[in-house]
């Protein structure tokens, strides 16, 4: 039988004057797309002090520029595959390259980040008695044989494919989280994030929403990867951040799906981007990459019931909210 131990005693540093009034929060991967939006939201609360740890592999200081120098904010350049000593109350553990182009670029590093990086963050959480939230992924369901995906589904994942460093990496990260929870009594939270989009997405990381918007703004044709009937469900980043904070603050370990159940084929997505951003561009069908999941849509009953959360922003509302950020970064100005 599994005995869940009591959480370890919090660090004595928490008795210091500082900790009586403030919550110190570590965000790994906080210079990335979702991480930097999470930091913005956490910094709105004056009781929060935020420490970001990032190696800037796919993230950028630019995403955090408004906080650099702020007295409640600290940015540390560090690779989480190495041990880290800080004193914190909560850990949002996001660090991991998330787009196929980047995670396949150095697959060994990707799996090290997921396994050694997560173990280090769990060791840290154990030492200081912090609650830790992992951003896992819908990719743990692989090419799913159940639709939509419920948290109980164990997935259909290729253990030796080119995506495995990421999806098997996250599966091990989830296992580590639950083993530290059962064996050492750690307070854990696991979010299974479905495709997320919004301002500050990497422009050239090959993800479909950023690709289509950049292509539309550059006047290039939108590249739908064959067959184009594959589906995804896209969540706007502010909804995602709200879901993550609710999960951290609530009483459920998860795993809990966080995503927008609105499901679109890639051809439909291309048509919507064309209509909303640049009607003059064409759409072309190009070759796909191996192991591309054919369909994906979250069942979010658990998030609704346990977190009182559901997304508010539809795809048609969210896409135009990215346009200005992409125009600025691409240097493409709106025609008069």
Q: Is 230 in the site for ligand UDP (CB under 6 A)?
A: yes
Burial class (CB in 10 A: 0-12, 13-18, 19+), 228: middle
Binding track over 42-71 against ligand NAD, x by CB under 6 A: ------------xxxxxx------------
Distance CA 267, CA 223 (A): 9
Report residue 48: phi and psi, to 5°.
-95, 135
**In this chain, which of 36, 120, 196, 233 binds ligand UDP, going by CB under 6 A?**
120
Other CB atoms within 10 Å distance of the CB of residue 82: 10
**Spatial contact of 22 and 14, defined as CB atoms under 8 Å apart:** no
Q: Is 94 in the site for ligand NAD (CB under 6 A)?
A: yes
Q: Name the β-bridge partners of 51.
A: 26, 74
Catalytic residue chosen out of the listed positions 92, 141, 166, 180? 166
- Which of residues 27 and 186 has its CB atom nearest to ligand NAD in the complex? 27
Other CB atoms within 10 Å distance of the CB of residue 120: 19
Piece of 200-208, 245-253, 254-262, 275-283 that binds ligand UDP (CB under 6 A) = 200-208
For residues 125-164, which are near ligand NAD according to CB under 6 A?
135, 137
Residue 166 is among the residues annotated as catalytic for this protein: yes
Piece of 18-26, 102-110, 120-128, 242-250 that binds ligand UDP (CB under 6 A) = 120-128
Q: Is 117 in the site for ligand NAD (CB under 6 A)?
A: yes
Per-residue DSSP letters for 185-199? ---EEEEEE--EE-T
Q: Is 288 in the site for ligand UDP (CB under 6 A)?
A: yes
Distance CA 167, CA 217 (A): 32
**299 contacts: CB under 8 Å, gap ≥ 6:** 148, 149, 150, 151, 257, 261
Q: What is the DSSP letter of 43?
A: H
Residue 127: contacted member of ligand NAD, ligand UDP, none (CB under 5 to 8 Å, by partner type): ligand UDP
Tokens 């706007």, located at residue: 236
Q: Is 81 in the site for ligand NAD (CB under 6 A)?
A: yes
Piece of 26-34, 146-154, 296-304, 305-313 that binds ligand NAD (CB under 6 A) = 26-34
CB of 15 to ligand NAD, least distance (A): 30
For residues 23-82, which are near ligand UDP according to CB under 6 A?
none
End-to-end CA distance of the chain: 69
What does the block give as tokens for 47? 């009781």
List the catalytic residues.
166
Residues near ligand UDP (CB under 6 A): 83-85, 100, 119-120, 123-124, 126-127, 195, 206-208, 211, 223-225, 230, 232, 266, 288, 292
């Amino acid at each position: 039988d599994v005995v869940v131990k009591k959480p370890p005693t919090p660090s004595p540093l928490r008795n210091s004057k500082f900790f009586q009034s403030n919550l110190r929060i570590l965000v790994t991967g906080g210079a990335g797309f979702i991480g930097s939006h999470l930091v913005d939201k956490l910094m709105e609360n004056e009781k929060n002090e935020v420490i970001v740890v990032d190696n800037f592999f796919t993230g950028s200081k630019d995403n955090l520029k408004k906080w650099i120098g702020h007295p409640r904010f600290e940015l540390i350049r560090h690779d989480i595959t190495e041990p880290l000593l800080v004193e914190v109350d909560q850990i949002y553990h996001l660090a991991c390259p998330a787009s196929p182009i980047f995670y396949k670029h150095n697959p060994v590093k990707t799996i090290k980040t997921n396994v050694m990086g997560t173990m280090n963050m769990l060791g840290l959480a154990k030492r200081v008695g912090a609650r830790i939230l992992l951003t896992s992924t819908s990719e743990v369901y692989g090419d799913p044989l159940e639709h939509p995906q419920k948290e109980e589904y164990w997935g259909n994942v290729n253990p030796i494919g080119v995506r495995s460093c990421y999806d098997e990496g996250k599966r091990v990260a989830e296992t580590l989280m639950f083993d530290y929870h059962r064996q050492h009594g750690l307070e854990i939270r696991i979010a299974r994030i479905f495709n997320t989009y919004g301002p500050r997405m990497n422009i050239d990381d090959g993800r479909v929403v950023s690709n289509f918007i950049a292509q539309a703004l550059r006047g290039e044709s939108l590249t739908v990867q064959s067959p184009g009937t594959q589906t995804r469900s896209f969540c706007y980043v502010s909804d995602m951040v709200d879901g993550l904070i609710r999960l951290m603050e609530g009483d459920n370990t998860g795993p809990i799906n966080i995503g927008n159940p609105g499901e679109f084929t890639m051809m439909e997505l291309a048509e919507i981007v064309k209509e909303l951003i640049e009607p003059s561009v064409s759409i072309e069908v190009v070759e796909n990459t191996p192991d591309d999941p054919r369909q994906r849509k979250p069942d979010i009953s658990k998030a609704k019931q346990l977190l009182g959360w559901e997304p508010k922003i539809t795809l048609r509302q969210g896409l135009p909210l990215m346009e200005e950020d992409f125009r600025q970064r691409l240097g493409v100005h709106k025609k008069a």
